[in-house]
Amino acid sequence: MIFNLFNKRKKMEIKLEHHLDSIAIPANLRINDQIKKYREKCSKIGCHRPYHHFAFGQSPFSPPAEIINALRDNANKHSYLPTAGIAELRKAVSDYYNDVFKLQSQARQVIISPGSKEIISIILSVTEGDVLIPTPSWVSYLPQALILKKQVQPIRLHEDSHFKLTPALLEKAANNSSHDQHILILNNPNNPTGAVYTEDELKALATICRKHNIIVIADEIYARTSFDFSKFISMGKIFPEGTIVTGGLSKDRSAGGYRLGIGVFPDNEKLIKDVLIVAGSTYSCVAAPIQYAALAGFSRIEAVEKYMTDTARIHATIGRIAAGLLNNIHGVKATVPYGGFYLYVDFNEYAEELKTIGLTNCANLCEHLIEVEHTALLPGNSLLLPEDDFSVRFSFVDYDGDAVLENWKRENPSSEQEQTAFFKAYCPLINQGIQNIERYFSQVAEGRLPVHA
Amino acid sequence: MIFNLFNKRKKMEIKLEHHLDSIAIPANLRINDQIKKYREKCSKIGCHRPYHHFAFGQSPFSPPAEIINALRDNANKHSYLPTAGIAELRKAVSDYYNDVFKLQSQARQVIISPGSKEIISIILSVTEGDVLIPTPSWVSYLPQALILKKQVQPIRLHEDSHFKLTPALLEKAANNSSHDQHILILNNPNNPTGAVYTEDELKALATICRKHNIIVIADEIYARTSFDFSKFISMGKIFPEGTIVTGGLSKDRSAGGYRLGIGVFPDNEKLIKDVLIVAGSTYSCVAAPIQYAALAGFSRIEAVEKYMTDTARIHATIGRIAAGLLNNIHGVKATVPYGGFYLYVDFNEYAEELKTIGLTNCANLCEHLIEVEHTALLPGNSLLLPEDDFSVRFSFVDYDGDAVLENWKRENPSSEQEQTAFFKAYCPLINQGIQNIERYFSQVAEGRLPVHA
């Protein structure tokens, strides 16, 4: 009878939009959940082999105390707010971008969103044209475009231009397209390569943009993590009439979980209105307490500015050392980063061996690396590369950020030797994880499927 | 030369998606901004004629202290979280809905979103079929559907069924459609009419839904404001296999500005996965501190439950009195609400006179009422009614909620007489605003364009 009772619970077939069938849960989120679960399991059974998590791009530090305190102080803010954001915050963001990045914006050009990811998605939804995505790329641009049924043109970047988009490649993409307007997503500093564009490079790209009606979404969320910030130039300064600069609190101010992003738009009333129409019918406004907290993040408070300088120096040091260690592995090539907290690592030297031992694509390789070496990397197919391209993204943030920041300030390591010692002492999971990769590929080189030593 | 310098700043024509051209900024948000500005101006110049703001649906109370304190205690939570929400919160929401609304859900069926508006939009984006919207409706369903290029079928409701959707009207809409699946948005308690569906009414609708492949988005965000909660039945209980129940902290727990909504889905893995794919590519996850704060809102804490009971009684009292006063105005008909904080008010008795004096549509009428009587109502065209339908939404929340709640608990007015005295003492803007409307229409009745007395 119980059986019958259960059977009585009706099922209904629900028809879903087909274009979503080809889109997977983003690999970074999926692997992050997976590794978290493994770590929990490990810690329960007192496992001695830790997981090395290089597949997720979260700042390892706590946000500046000023921002956390501001959230605490504004916990009672519970009213609906204007969709574009509170006037004070839009003004602060505009002033901040004008001051720090030499834009010439007004507060009316700023829109606050729950993360820069959502504002990028909304911009894609309101603008006409195909989407030009330089690859390797961040994991989310492609699914965002596919969800919106936008046409996508990946632009494959090459080592000889340090994985930067060149005017020639951009022009070729525009000429290839049947659209008379295009949307270029230009991520600078770049995730995953760590490349940073020079002023001349941006100017050359802007020339092509003007010639071919290319709107730029300049995803500059990592701007303040640039290792030499004096050299960072915003595309919003170079190409103000056609660039939307996006950013937020998530990376340089370490508050990814606060979900606050910003867009600085060209002074184009209709574009801004259309974005607000979509924003008003989806997220409505960003959480009120978070908006007030963000004021502390965009008001050039000295402690917050110093925090960003210190943490960028730490990223620079760890990135340089990690790249060096990876490049020391036979047959492995890693980019040398200029900002952000990623390296782009190329294992294609081992493509034949990998295929021979049954690891036919990069996703297989990465799964196997987790299994055998407890070492997680983001496979190239998530970066919009072909499945059999054995390149990966390596996030060098798997350490205890608060302890590292504290020790960094105390020890202030400056020589190469001091910094290497610092790295070995405080970033053991990265150090050991790279050794795991080395051991793994030494077995691949011998033509056998690696096992844990 | 300065002139030339300014002229040099380039403009770029940016082509935007045409389907957005017909969509306006939602009138409730627009009028809310407008009235806020008027009030600021007024308070600066010490104006003696206040604005009566009946065009926006925000709970007038502060959220329960338990929720605010939980946010304060979790201000330091800064990590990215799973897109569907933290496991504890999904479990708490599932338990809450099972306990309070008699659903039979599992935590895996719950998705946390930045407001129920965004989860409704995402559901519309992943499901096939046309969207059936009973009217008068909430302002945002139509723009949400239009942004997503969904086909919309408004279903006009009538006074003789107390503005509730009937099985006959629903079946007619399904038969009218060329789609073989439909999405019905069923808002219960209803914004703007205040109607609440009985169990039998929902069962009769579910029969039609099963027959015609109609998926239901049951927007039950006002559920706990039902004036007699013992009579509220969730569509998720009646039609679990085809209903997504949406809700959140915004209305009964007064935390609209926290932006936390929830969806309880049928146990349909592919549907939930598709929603998470879109969510992961847009909002990523709800702000971490807000998610932890929301745990306090869904954990059946006694003080929070009492808060909801008290505030629902206040809404019931004010709604009943306001409806009575409006119905006393010659030629004006207002619905009697059973939940929420809205009345639907019909001025069509004056349609001829209004047109004669130059107020040819409801938007004109509402603008004129703000100008002449400082009294803001939401015009019927925002409720998806024809432009020349002179019906409006009246939000009866324009009072100092914290003072009213405090006084309510102290005075505990129970007789009709005590409650009327309470209303007059503590809701002067509503009381006076209704008198303004009366004065206004007494002039309309005389065939002249009203002026302020």
Going from the N-terminus, what domains does chain A have, and what CATH number goes with each? 27-61+304-445 (3.90.1150.10), 65-300 (3.40.640.10)
Is a pLDDT exceeding 90 seen at residue A227? yes
The vertex-A180 CA angle with A179 and A181, nearest 5°, equals 95
Angle at B40 between CA B253 and CA B407, to 5 degrees: 40
Which residues have CB under 8 Å from B219's CB, separation 6+? B116, B120, B138, B185, B186, B187, B188, B246
Average the pLDDT over each of A329-343, B5-19, B166-180 and give the range with the smallest value: B5-19
Interface of B with A in 92-131 (CB under 8 A): 114-115, 117-118, 121, 125-129
pLDDT at A395: 98
Close Cβ partners of B412 (under 8 Å, ≥ 6 residues apart):
none
CA–CA separation, A375 vs A369, rounded Å?
6
Q: What is the pLDDT of residue A9?
A: 62
Helical (H) or strand (E) element with B351: helix B351-356
Mean per-residue pLDDT, A372-385:
96
Which residue of A9, A149, A281 to mutate against B (max B Cβ within 10 Å)?
A281
Phi-psi region of B132 (alpha: psi -120 to 50; beta: other; left: phi over 0): beta
Q: What is the pLDDT of residue B8?
A: 52
CA gap B387, B381 in Å, rounded: 5
| pLDDT, tens digit, 9 for 90 and up, residues A161-203 | 999 999 999 999 999 999 999 999 999 999 999 999 999 999 9
**Closest Cβ–Cβ partner in A254, A257, A287 for B257:** A287
Does the pLDDT at position A224 exceed 70?
yes
CA distance B281 to chain A (A): 6
User: Do residues A132 and A184 touch, judged by C-beta distance below 8 A?
Assistant: yes
Residue of B nearest to A29 (CA): B82
Considering the entire predicted model, what is its pTM? 0.96
pLDDT of residue B2: 45
pLDDT above 70 for B431:
yes
Q: Which residue has the higher pLDDT, B409 or B32?
A: B409
**Average of per-residue pLDDT values in chain B:** 95
Residues 221-240 on A with a CB inside 8 Å of B are 240
Mean pLDDT of A274-289: 97
Q: CA separation (Å) from B311 to A247, B93, B210, B414?
A: 40, 21, 36, 14
**Among B124, B150, B142, B94, CA closest to B274:** B124
φ, ψ dihedrals at B54, nearest 5° = -110, 20
Worst-scoring range by mean pLDDT, A34-48, A166-180, B172-186? Answer: A34-48
Is residue A403 within 8 angstroms of chain B, CB to CB? no
- State whether A26 and B290 contact (CB < 8 Å): no
Asked if A7 has any chain B CB less than 8 Å from its own CB, the reply is: no
Would you say residue A435 has pLDDT above 60?
Answer: yes
- Asked if A190 contacts A225 with a C-beta cutoff of 8 angstroms, the reply is no
Collapsing DSSP to helix, strand or coil, B125 comes out as: helix
Q: Which of residues 80-99 of B touch A (CB under 8 A)?
A: 80-83
The answer to whether A255 contacts chain B (CB < 8 Å) is yes
Q: Determine the 3-state secondary structure of A19 from DSSP.
A: helix
Contact at CB, B82 and A277, closer than 8 angstroms = no
Q: Chain A residue closest to B34 (CA)?
A: A82
User: Mean pLDDT across the stretch A345-354?
Assistant: 98
Query: Please, what is the average pLDDT of chain A?
Result: 95
Give the whole-angstrom CA distance, residue A79 versus residue A124: 29
- pLDDT above 90 (res B66): yes
As given in the structure block, the two tokens for residue A75 are 């916990």
What share of chain B in percent tops pLDDT 70?
A: 98
pLDDT recorded at residue A7 = 43
Interface test with B, best of A6, A8, A9, A14 (most B CBs within 10 A): A14
Question: Out of A34-43, A144-153, A373-382, B315-324, which region has the weakest mean confidence (pLDDT)?
Answer: A34-43
Q: Give the span between the Cα atoms of B162 and B197, in whole angstroms.
A: 10
Mutate to test the interface with A, among B131, B282, B384 (most CBs of A within 10 A): B282
When scoring B259, B270, B285 by the number of chain A Cβ atoms within 10 A, the one with the most, hence best to mutate, is B259
Our CA-based measurement puts residue A411 at a distance from the nearest CA of chain B, in whole angstroms, of 26
- What Rg do the C-alpha atoms of chain B give, in angstroms? 23
**pLDDT band, very low/low/confident/very high, at B163 (cuts 50, 70, 90):** very high
For residue B287, give the nearest of A181, A241, A259 by CB distance.
Answer: A259
Is pLDDT above 60 for B3?
A: no
Separation CA B407–CA B413 (nearest Å) = 9
Tell me the nearest-neighbour CA distance from A444 into chain B, angstroms. 34
Q: What is the pLDDT of residue A42?
A: 80
pLDDT classification of A29: cutoffs 50, 70, 90:
confident
**8 Å CB contact of B14 and A268:** yes
Nearest 5°: the CA angle B140, B143, B146 is: 145
pLDDT digits (tens, 9 = 90+) for A406-429: 999 999 999 999 999 999 999 999
Contact by Cβ (8 Å): B138, B222: no
Which of B284, B286, B384 to mutate: most A Cβ within 10 Å? B284
Cβ contact, residue pair B128, A17, below 8 Å: yes
Q: What pLDDT, on the 0 to 100 scale, is given for residue A2?
A: 45
Chain A, 165 to 194: residues with Cβ < 8 Å from chain B are 180-181
Output the CA–CA distances (angstroms, integers) from residue B418 to A265, B94, B288, B321, B424, in the order listed. 55, 40, 44, 12, 10
How far off is chain B from A81, nearest CA to CA, in Å? 7
User: Which of A 13-72 lie inside 8 A of B, CB atoms?
Assistant: 13-17, 20, 23-26, 29, 32-33, 56, 58, 62-63, 68-69, 71-72
Q: Which residues of A touch B10 (CB under 8 A)?
A: 210, 240-241
State the smallest CA–CA distance between residue B134 and chain A in angstroms.
Answer: 18
Q: Which of residues 307-336 of A touch B (CB under 8 A)?
A: none
In whole angstroms, give the CA distance from residue A210 to residue A266: 14
- The one-letter code for the residue type at A299 is S
Residue A260's closest chain B neighbor by CA? B287
Check if B252 contacts A (Cβ < 8 Å): no
Per-residue pLDDT tens over the stretch B232-269: 999 999 999 999 999 999 999 999 999 999 999 999 99
Q: What is the predicted ipTM?
A: 0.96
Per residue in B4-49, pLDDT tens?
444 456 789 999 999 999 998 888 888 988 898 888 888 788 778 8
Kindly determine whether residue B277 and residue A24, on different chains, have CB atoms separated by under 8 Å: yes
Question: What is residue B46's predicted lDDT score, i.e. its pLDDT?
Answer: 77
B162 with B169: CB under 8 angstroms?
A: no
Which chain A residues contact residue B83 at CB under 8 A? Answer: 25, 29
CB B158, CB B166: distance < 8 Å: no
CB contact under 8 A, A283 and B118: yes
The pLDDT value recorded for residue A8 is 52
